Amino acid sequence: MRKTILLNNRPQGKPTVSNFEFVTEDSELTVSEGEILLEAAYVSVDPYLRGRMSDAKSYIPPFELNKPVHSGVVAKVVASKNEKFKEGDYVSGMLNWSTQQISNGEGLNKVDGSKAPLSTYLGVLGMTGLTAYLGLNEIGKPQAGETIVVSGAAGAVGSVVGQIAKILGLKVIGIAGTDEKIDMLKDKFGFDAGINYNTSKDINADLKKLAPNGVDIYFDNVGGPISDAVLFNINRFARIIICGAISVYNETELPTSLSVQPFLVKNSALMQGFIVSNYAEKFPEAIQKLAGWLSEGKLTYTETIVEGFDNIPSAFIDLFEGKNKGKMIVKI
């Protein structure tokens, strides 16, 4: 018996479990020539998936209704008629939210659980780490001695961004939503300072104290009022990396905020959106760097691992309540 999760209807505002439908099938899957049969081991849930659940007007390409949702998955090859993969291999790639599925192997990479835990291939050695490394380096062009602010800093991407920035010699300030997360940023990830946006009376004023020389790079995972506050502190030639906008993914109306244009003109500042696949040709170099830092102990990570296929939707929904620390992963 295998289970699959379909997008049943498009979320209005915050997603709920009723947006998803579980389908159970008993028929055996047939492996044709060139194909492999996969059994899901770890499933990644990520804020950006919310965008793809909306219709075409907001984020493209949207997921289709009544079709399986897909995301980053580490899966075990349980049968193979494809010479590139053998039974027992583990692979990572964009796969359906299904306990079992057939693939022709395209877009899948073999991963080695003896070199690093399998879940890291969805996190620090997967899209999460690549997003952090490539967004920071390709757009942020960090220089030792500069100051960076990271929002969503305790999240999967944010915590890696801050650590890489420290390795590169920057002053790193993280913004997150609980004191526990702020402590983790400083104690575990080596951030220089943190701001709890839920208890701060004035994020702008706090930043002025923590970054008296201004902000050179802002790695923006959230958008909204937190990003507005950072704008008041950017330096001339600042680089603002727009990685995500979790604060607005669930808005049903298009959100408004402080006009950024006057700040960008005044400071000759840059704001650049990206998705990690823009830099696909740099993946090997980035993975090599990240794996090196990981094995040297310069880079660490936090995972929130939820157990059980049935809990994928609720784990996804919990992202929008900030219930995860670091990468949110469901172990099947």
- One of 93, 152, 244, 326 touching a second copy (CB under 8 A): 244
Q: How far is CA 289 from CA 18, 74, 134, 282, in A?
A: 41, 21, 11, 11
Q: Are 198 and 222 in contact (CB under 8 A)?
A: no
d(CA 92, CA 70): 12
- One of 145, 169, 262, 308 touching a second copy (CB under 8 A): 262
Q: Which is nearer to a second copy, 271 or 330 (CB)?
A: 271
Using rule CB under 8 A, residue 11 touches a second copy:
no
Binding mask 224-243 for a second copy (x = CB under 8 A): x--x--------------xx
- The distance of closest approach from Cβ of residue 51 to a second copy in the complex, given in angstroms and rounded to an integer, is 8
Using rule CB under 8 A, residue 266 touches a second copy:
yes
- The distance of closest approach from Cβ of residue 234 to a second copy in the complex, given in angstroms and rounded to an integer, is 10
d(CA 292, CA 308): 32
Peptide bond into 225 cis (omega under 30): no
d(CA 194, CA 162): 11
Binding window for a second copy (CB under 8 A); candidates: 114-122, 154-162, 197-205, 258-266: 258-266
Residue with tokens 């929130």: 304
**What is the helix (H) or strand (E) element at residue 312, kind and residue range?**
helix 312-318
- One of 271, 290, 312, 329 touching a second copy (CB under 8 A): 271
Residue with tokens 């157990």: 307
- The distance of closest approach from Cβ of residue 154 to a second copy in the complex, given in angstroms and rounded to an integer, is 20
Q: Which residues bind a second copy (CB under 8 A)?
A: 51, 58-60, 220, 223-224, 227, 242-245, 248, 254-275, 278
